[in-house]
Amino acid sequence: MNSKPEETPCCPCKCKQKKPAWKRMVGLALVAFAAIAVLRAFNGAPKTPEPDTAKASVAGEPSLTVFYFHGRQRCMTCNSMERMVHEVADNLPSVEVKAINLDEPANEHFVADFGLTMRTVVLQHGSRFTVLDKCWNLAHDEAAFKDYISKNIADFAAAKE
């Protein structure tokens, strides 16, 4: 039987780019890693140290970090989302934007650190963070996307630790 292997989109926008089989395997490995980390946390195993990016703000360092998580292979929507995040956050005082490629082995810990289920935007200050899970729903409406990012940055910055 000659059946074509199942192809999976590279990202939630369901664009035409397809994820190769090895990337699906890496994704499954990341999910397994996250599951093990959660089980260890519930079993009282020693916690892994906070990521370097989770340090509390010190004079001269940003008080808020805006992470844009992406993969190695990126579609127009992925690039557009990163551009819009930069347009909103780059000129805000004490805010730093970091684009992080989750396909790089050194960055795999972010999946477990932030409980990521997709490539998205995360706001972090010290040990506090919030995952902006509506980014993909708003990605094709620039005004709505930018408003969503701006409002969340303002709300997150205003919240007490």
Write the CB contacts of 26 (distance below 8 Å, at least 6 apart in sequence).
103
pLDDT of residue 64: 94
* Containing structural domain, residue 94: 8-158
| Any domain includes 3 | no
Domain CATH number, residue 83: 3.40.30.10
pLDDT tens digits, the chain, 161 residues: what are they?
A: 555 555 555 666 666 666 666 676 767 667 766 767 666 666 654 444 444 443 333 445 568 999 999 999 999 999 999 999 999 999 898 899 999 999 999 999 999 999 999 999 999 999 999 999 999 999 999 999 999 999 999 999 998 65
Q: How far from 65 is each of 19, 31, 153, CA to CA, in Å?
A: 29, 24, 10
| Any domain includes 56 | yes
| Any domain includes 89 | yes
| Any domain includes 42 | yes
| Any domain includes 1 | no
Count of CB atoms within 10 A of residue 56's CB?
11
pTM value is 0.64
Number of domains in the chain: 1
| Any domain includes 2 | no
**Number of residues assigned to the chain:** 161
Q: How far from 131 is each of 115, 121, 135, CA to CA, in Å?
A: 9, 6, 10
| Any domain includes 32 | yes
